[in-house]
Amino acid sequence: MDSISRNRKGDVDILTVKGNIQHTDSPVFEKELERTLEQGSRLIVLDLTAVQHICSSALGALISVKRRIRRHEGDVRIVTTAGDVLRVLQITLLDRVFLVFDNLDAAVHSYQVRGQGHETP
Please report the pLDDT score of residue 1 as a whole number: 87
The model's pLDDT over 36-69, given as tens digits with 9 standing for 90+, comes to 999 999 999 999 999 999 999 999 999 999 999 9
C-alpha angle 29/32/33, rounded to 5°? Answer: 85
Degrees to nearest 5, angle at CA 56 with 106 and 82: 35
Strand partners, 21: 54
Domain count, the chain: 1
H-type helices in the chain, by residue range?
A: 26-38, 56-70, 84-91, 104-110
pLDDT at 119: 44
Indicate the average pLDDT of the chain.
91
Residue 118 has pLDDT above 50, yes or no: no
Q: Note down the domain range covering 108.
A: 13-79+100-113
Query: Would you state the pLDDT for residue 112?
Result: 87
Q: What is the pLDDT of residues 77-97, one digit of tens each?
A: 999 987 899 999 999 999 999
Report the CATH number at residue 62. 3.30.750.24
